Amino acid sequence: MPELRKDPVIGRWVIIATERRKRPHDFQVTGEGCMTDTSSCPFCEGNEGKTPPEIIAYRNGTPPNSPGWSLRVVPNKFPALAIEGGLGRVGEGMFDKMNGVGAHEVIIETPRHVCNYDVLPEQEIEGIVSAYRDRVIDLKGDDRFQYILIFKNKGRDAGASLEHTHSQLIALPIVPKRVSEELSGAREYFGFKERCVFCDIIRQETQDGTRLVAESEHFILISPYAPKSPFETWILPREHQSSFETIKDEQIPDLARLLHLVMRKMVDVLGDPPFNYMIHSAPLHTDPEHYHWHIEIMPKLTHHAGFEWGSGFYINPTPPEDAAEALRNCDTVCQP
Amino acid sequence: MPELRKDPVIGRWVIIATERRKRPHDFQVTGEGCMTDTSSCPFCEGNEGKTPPEIIAYRNGTPPNSPGWSLRVVPNKFPALAIEGGLGRVGEGMFDKMNGVGAHEVIIETPRHVCNYDVLPEQEIEGIVSAYRDRVIDLKGDDRFQYILIFKNKGRDAGASLEHTHSQLIALPIVPKRVSEELSGAREYFGFKERCVFCDIIRQETQDGTRLVAESEHFILISPYAPKSPFETWILPREHQSSFETIKDEQIPDLARLLHLVMRKMVDVLGDPPFNYMIHSAPLHTDPEHYHWHIEIMPKLTHHAGFEWGSGFYINPTPPEDAAEALRNCDTVCQP
């Protein structure tokens, strides 16, 4: 019989549709592959002139916007938001609008034309995590911004328009709806239990083990209880921490290792699926005791359709216990 | 400069990304076409044995599950929810679940192998609308159900697994999150203004005209002020009505005409895009003065990606005024 499961944070119900049950091999996709002629790729070393001037780069003493870097952060060439200007909140009859002020940056994760960072050395992934932190800390100084979202789109079906591995950052003048919902769900739980809901999830998943994929000193990797889509996984810091940018130096290599691990596990179990990941963190300049930052990783294996659009309710054909088992048990190349 | 616009019902902000502005021809897609060998299509006349036994059908005196029908409703062969059983709400440690009880039906819209109903005669579309109403009225009698969602997925990218034109219905034991959000946004507006927010939208859009695509005696067709995706359109009944199933006989031909019109306009302006539509209606057995049923039609032209997943905030490259103008002005085949 199918099950309805409730997300303990946001209160959203999900249908675990056992009649439509899908196992990992039902999803096996073949990666799009990387193009071999990379002369036109704006993210490759040597093509620095094809991007707007860099904001920061990790370099060995080479001058800005030239070769000789391991990571670059540049403004998005086609930004969704404009960095200049004020908010200008106004009405339009009964409607409300404001200027689309914000930052939209691209983190180019490696100078080599690589399509996913499962093949990068762990040290480069540490650099990516550090760059995320450095950019948030810098942008926090701009008091027009209330929220910063860091995310990664991999593969065309997950919304990536360039294949060279990269992440993005958008700084927003408002707290987006999805974040407010998480915050208010978590606040309600805290009000009732006087405990952080994410800390409770970590305790239960660690003890129970059926949805646990991997653990490390500072983080756990799980399939959440009520996943929106098959093989969704979350990485959570064990210790209560509301905001990603307060990550400590000693946590960074550990997080990089777990991110690397989940990437390799997805390639092993699912082929080379398109995916998105997003860092969920508290709004800037807040440190709520009820909120706990984490990363949600969502391989794109099914199409969300009219039912999901109309109801905000997801049909998931793979129970998270099956997904966790497959990811946990995949062969040795996946061991941390 | 990009604009942030707020959905007046749900409170969600949307980025109208003018830097990434896209015009209709940027989206032109080529329909997937219909297969010519339809012998294996379970929805074609003559193949009635390939579906579960029909629930209702519009027939000219022919026996059930045989040829000679204009529309059939059958249970989904791979239902997301099971029709038998009780709710059985239980906890699982800190988590909550219940049995996936519900109805999952398929409305087969025509006996002929047609891939979209833009080519059907209007009378058949009236039959589709009547079937939606008849099924809701029948399922309302089952007191396990709190909500019924009617939706259509057209094209593989919009989640359809069969191309023969059809809609679906899911009856749910709970009110889904997206609906609760709309209801509570609309209640808040009503609390402040003592007017239905949708009635106000209808008044403003009819007067203003920039987002109005078409009008008829009982309905209007608009591009909403803060659309989640390019060329999203809504059909709203002019008269305040909270629930779809209370639609009057005289409204049905008028709604069928407008649905037909928007289908043909989408084909003319965008090619033959995959799309979803959903009927948004009040929960069963309620008649809130602050809620107003409507249909949301969403062509699938962009990929929602990490940003949308992480923020619940949409980046839309086509201002709704541009979309409405293109849909309004497309050539005569589109006139009602």
Considering only CA atoms, which of B133, B142, B135 is closest in space to residue B173?
B142
Q: Which chain B residue's Cα is nearest to A283?
A: B311
pLDDT of B182 strictly over 90: yes
Q: How far apart are CA A325 and CA A17, in angstroms?
A: 18
Q: Choose the mutation target among A1, A3, A4 for the interface with B, i.e. most B CBs under 10 Å.
A: A4
Q: Residue A43: how many CB atoms within 10 A of its CB?
A: 24
Three-state SS for B308?
Answer: helix
C-beta separation of A115 from A275 below 8 A:
no
Establish if B192 touches chain A: CB-CB under 8 angstroms.
no
pLDDT in tens, A61-92: 999 999 999 999 999 998 888 888 888 888 88
Mean pLDDT within A236-251: 97
Nearest CA to CA, how far is A29 from chain B (Å)?
A: 16
Mean pLDDT within A268-289: 94
Q: Which chain A residue's Cα is nearest to B277?
A: A306
B residues 240..269 contacting A (CB < 8 A): none
For residue A225, the model assigns a pLDDT of: 95
Better-scored residue on pLDDT, B170 or B307: B170
Residues of A in contact with B201 (CB under 8 A): 94
C-beta separation of B297 from B262 below 8 A:
yes
For residue B335, the model assigns a pLDDT of: 47
pLDDT in tens, B11-29: 778 877 777 777 777 777 7
pLDDT of A101 strictly over 80: yes
Q: For the whole model, what pTM was predicted? A: 0.91
pLDDT in tens, A19-61: 777 777 777 776 667 777 788 899 999 999 999 999 999 999 9
Mean pLDDT within B248-264: 96
Phi/psi for A40 (5° steps) reads -95, 0
C-beta separation of A250 from A270 below 8 A:
no
Per DSSP, the residues of A225-247 read SS-SSTT-EEEEESS--S-GGG-
Q: Residue B142: how many CB atoms within 10 A of its CB?
A: 14
pLDDT of A314 strictly over 70: yes
pLDDT in tens, A125-134: 999 999 999 9
- Mean pLDDT value across chain A: 91
pLDDT band at B336 (very low <50, low <70, confident <90, very high): very low
Q: How far apart are CA B155 and CA A303, in angstroms?
A: 11
Mean pLDDT within A128-157: 95
Q: How far apart are CA A100 and CA A83, in angstroms?
A: 9
For B77-98, b/e burial (b = at least 16 CB within 10 A) is eebbbbeeeeeeeeeeebbbbb
Which are the contacts of B328, defined by CB distance < 8 A and separation ≥ 6?
B212, B213, B214
Is A151 in contact with B309 (Cβ distance < 8 A)?
Answer: yes
For residue B219, the model assigns a pLDDT of: 98
pLDDT of B333 strictly over 70: no
Strands of the sheet containing A13-16, edge to edge, are A314-316, A13-16, A3-6, B95-99, B90-92
Mean pLDDT within B213-224: 96
pLDDT in tens, A158-193: 888 899 999 999 999 989 888 999 999 999 999 999
Closest CB to A306 among B99, B152, B303: B152
Is A166 designated active site? yes
pLDDT in tens, B116-164: 888 999 999 999 999 999 999 999 999 999 999 999 999 988 888 899 9
Is B160 in contact with A13 (Cβ distance < 8 A)?
Answer: no
Closest CB to A310 among B2, B178, B201: B178
Nearest CA to CA, how far is B181 from chain A (Å)?
A: 10
For residue A75, the model assigns a pLDDT of: 95
Q: For residues B222, B224, B228 and B229, what is the CA-based torsion angle, rounded to 10 degrees?
A: 40
Mean pLDDT within B254-271: 94
pLDDT band at B332 (very low <50, low <70, confident <90, very high): very low
Residue B170 carries which side chain, given as an amino acid letter? I
For residue A331, the model assigns a pLDDT of: 67
Mean pLDDT within B234-248: 97
Q: What are the distances in angstroms from CA A18 to CA A3, A314, B174, B195?
A: 8, 13, 19, 44
Closest CB to A97 among B3, B151, B181: B3
* Helix (H) or strand (E) segment spanning residue B44: none
Residues of B in contact with A310 (CB under 8 A): 149, 151, 176, 178, 276, 278-280, 296
Beta bridge partners of B227: none
For residue A333, the model assigns a pLDDT of: 56
A residues 276..335 contacting B (CB < 8 A): 276-280, 296, 298, 302-307, 309-313, 315
- Mean pLDDT value across chain B: 91
Is B95 in contact with A152 (Cβ distance < 8 A)?
Answer: no
Is B204 in contact with A80 (Cβ distance < 8 A)?
Answer: no
pLDDT of A117 strictly over 60: yes
Mean pLDDT within A251-269: 95
Considering only CA atoms, which of B77, B42, B32 is closest in space to residue B300?
B32
For residue A112, the model assigns a pLDDT of: 94
C-beta separation of A227 from A213 below 8 A:
no
Q: Which chain A residue's Cα is nearest to B19?
A: A78
Is A309 in contact with B276 (Cβ distance < 8 A)?
Answer: yes
For residue A15, the model assigns a pLDDT of: 79
* Helix (H) or strand (E) segment spanning residue A76: none
Q: Which of B104, B164, B166, B280 is catalytic?
A: B166
Mean pLDDT within B262-286: 93
pLDDT of B313 strictly over 90: no
Establish if A21 touches chain B: CB-CB under 8 angstroms.
no
For residue A332, the model assigns a pLDDT of: 47
Establish if B149 touches chain A: CB-CB under 8 angstroms.
yes
Q: Choose the mutation target among B189, B232, B307 for the interface with A, i.e. most A CBs under 10 Å.
A: B307
Nearest CA to CA, how far is B33 from chain A (Å)?
A: 20
ipTM over 0.95: no
For residue B4, the model assigns a pLDDT of: 82
pLDDT band at A104 (very low <50, low <70, confident <90, very high): very high
Residues of A in contact with B312 (CB under 8 A): 176-179, 181
Establish if B58 touches chain A: CB-CB under 8 angstroms.
no
Q: Which chain A residue's Cα is nearest to B313?
A: A176
Which are the contacts of A137, defined by CB distance < 8 A and separation ≥ 6?
A245
Is B174 in contact with A4 (Cβ distance < 8 A)?
Answer: yes
pLDDT in tens, B67-126: 999 999 999 998 888 888 888 888 889 999 988 889 999 999 999 999 988 899 999 999
Mean pLDDT within A143-156: 94
For residue A31, the model assigns a pLDDT of: 66
Is B174 in contact with A298 (Cβ distance < 8 A)?
Answer: no
For residue B89, the model assigns a pLDDT of: 85
pLDDT band at B7 (very low <50, low <70, confident <90, very high): confident
Considering only CA atoms, which of A52, A35, A156 is closest in space to residue A106?
A52
pLDDT of A335 strictly over 50: no
Q: How far apart are CA B106 and CA B153, in angstroms?
A: 11
Size of interface A-B (CB pairs under 8 A): 239
Per DSSP, the residues of A282-336 read PPTT---TT---EEEEEE--S---HHHHHHS-EEESS-HHHHHHHHHHS-GGG--
Q: What are the distances in angstroms from CA B286 to CA B237, B242, B245, B304?
A: 18, 8, 12, 33
